Amino acid sequence: AKDPVRVLVTGAAGQIGYALVPMIARGIMLGPDQPVILHMLDIAPAAEALNGVKMELVDAAFPLLKGVVATTDPVEACTGVNVAVMVGGFPRKEGMERKDVMSKNVSIYKSQASALEKHAAANCKVLVVANPANTNALILKEFAPSIPEKNITCLTRLDHNRALGQISEKVNVQVSDVKNVIIWGNHSSTQYPDVTHATVTTSAGEKPVPALVNDDEWLKSGFISTVQQRGAAIIKARKFSSALSAASSACDHIRDWVCGTPEGTWVSMGVYSDGSYNVPAGLIYSFPVTCRNGEWSIVQGLSIDEFSRKKLDLTAEELTEEKALAYSCLS
Ligand code: NAX
């Protein structure tokens, strides 16, 4: 049997945490033959709720679950972890300045970076979910210099999956037959959901999405804004932000990163920019990637038309500003 993998979930007493931990314990993140030990971190006010989640994990008698650590101590939480899913953060509250929220998250991600750097397993893979996801991941990277930058990513897979879902509804095909959409940039309303290179598998082979949709106006406006604003639409409908879809997409992100993407398919991940597609280096920016042997690489050579270029630049500008704001919180 395989050795168990230790998976950290921060903010585990929150709503995404509650949806995510049973998925991990069921093998949805790392596979149906991979035992796991869950490490759950939350803060003191949520300690009792966190313990309740631990009780439920015991009660669910998951065959793959070989242990549960539930703690408010970041060092205990980070010790020996192979995968870290960072869901905990400080939410923006009514009337709060952007800078104040940024400042809270910068201090959280700075200190959790140190705990991970000192105590996680070598080669630990990190996924930041908590908003502002890209910039939290960048702070984590800056303050965990010994963790390879390739190991620090943020979640844009939910946006990617939302784009797949919208296309499948529009052209009335199964979502599993749609692939190679791209989310470029920030996990925010400036993200650019791009279907220029996306395809649908049909009985007559792979067809380009733009031709199948055959509605340029919708692709250039309604589609983009629906994906960008989907988070807000979920809050309006549910009175809570997306949780099951976020948890499921976090599992997709880690599974594809660890187990690899299928031949001919790419996915979107927020990763450290190397300057590909003229995106400024040094930002955590969402790119199309393929994964193999536990490593992602940015898909190269895709054509970028004028419309797309503007959108790639706009979301890069926002990330550059966020980075400056985050750094101003450090001094
Ligand atoms: P909740 O408020 O339900 O849960 C957050 C949990 O984090 C709480 O239990 C809180 O006590 C805990 N926490 C706060 N500070 C902490 C710290 N320093 N260490 C450990 N835990 C800490 O929020 P939830 O709906 O679960 O969302 C979590 C985060 O995901 C939010 O930042 C949210 O904005 C972000 N999202 C990101 C998405 C993405 O695609 N990247 C989509 C979904 C979601 O909106």
Tell me which residue has its CA closest to atom 32 in ligand 1. Answer: 130
In the three-class reduction of DSSP (H, G, I as helix; E, B as strand; rest coil), residue 176 is classed as helix
Taking the C-alpha atoms of residue 55 and residue 295, their distance in angstroms, rounded to an integer, is 35
Task: Collect all residues with Cβ–Cβ distance below 8 Å to 210 and sequence separation of at least 6.
Answer: 195, 196, 216, 219
Report ipTM for this prediction.
Answer: 0.99
Predicted confidence at residue 98, as pLDDT, reads 85
Give the tens place of pLDDT for each residue, 154-179: 999 999 999 999 999 999 999 999 99
Assess whether the C-beta atom of 246 lies below 6 angstroms from ligand 1.
yes
Average of per-residue pLDDT values in the chain: 97
- Cα 175 from Cα 166, distance rounded (Å): 9
pLDDT tens per residue, range 120-162: 999 999 999 999 999 999 999 999 999 999 999 999 999 999 9
CB-based contact 124:81 (threshold 8 Å): yes
Give, to the nearest 10 degrees, the angle between helix 133-142 and helix 98-119: 40
* C-alpha to C-alpha distance for 98 and 318, rounded to whole angstroms: 13
Q: Is the CB of 102 under 6 A from ligand 1?
A: no
- Listed in sequence order, the residues at least 6 apart from 286 whose beta carbon sits closer than 8 Å to its beta carbon are 134, 154, 156, 159, 183, 184, 185, 186, 187, 191, 268, 269, 270, 271
Q: Is the CB of 89 under 6 A from ligand 1?
A: yes
**Residue 93: CB partners within 8 Å, gap ≥ 6?**
none
User: Which candidate in 39, 187, 197, 253 is catalytic?
Assistant: 187
The number of helix segments (H) and strand segments (E) in the chain equals 12, 14
For a pocket test of ligand 1, which of 15, 16, 104, 105 has the largest count of ligand atoms closer than 8 A to its C-beta?
16
- Tell me the CA–centroid distance for residue 82 and ligand 1, in Å: 21
pLDDT of 91 reads 87
Give the contacts of 279 (CB within 8 A, at least 6 positions apart).
Answer: 273, 285, 287, 312, 316
Per-residue pLDDT tens over the stretch 250-305:
999 999 999 999 999 999 999 999 999 999 999 999 999 999 999 999 999 999 99
Ligand 1 centroid, distance to 80 Cα (angstroms):
23
Q: Is 119 annotated in the active site?
A: no
Q: How far apart are CA 89 and CA 129, in angstroms?
A: 9
Ligand 1 atom at minimal distance to the Cα of residue 45: 11
pLDDT tens string 173-214: 999 999 999 999 999 999 999 999 999 999 999 999 999 999
pLDDT of residue 97 exceeding 90: no
Do residues 184 and 285 touch, judged by C-beta distance below 8 A? yes
pLDDT of residue 144: 97
Helix (H, G, I), strand (E, B) or coil at 130: coil
Ligand 1 contacts CB of residue 131 (under 6 A): yes
- pLDDT category at 76 given cuts 50, 70, 90 is very high
Where b means 16+ CB within 10 Å and e means fewer, 32-69 reads eebbbbbbbbbeeebeeebeebbeebeeeebebbbebb
Q: What percent of the chain has pLDDT over 70?
A: 100
**Res 93: pLDDT:** 82
CA R_g for the chain: 19
Kindly indicate the confidence band of residue 69, based on its pLDDT and cuts at 50, 70 and 90. very high
Helix (H, G, I), strand (E, B) or coil at 163: helix
**Nearest CA, atom 9, ligand 1:** 14
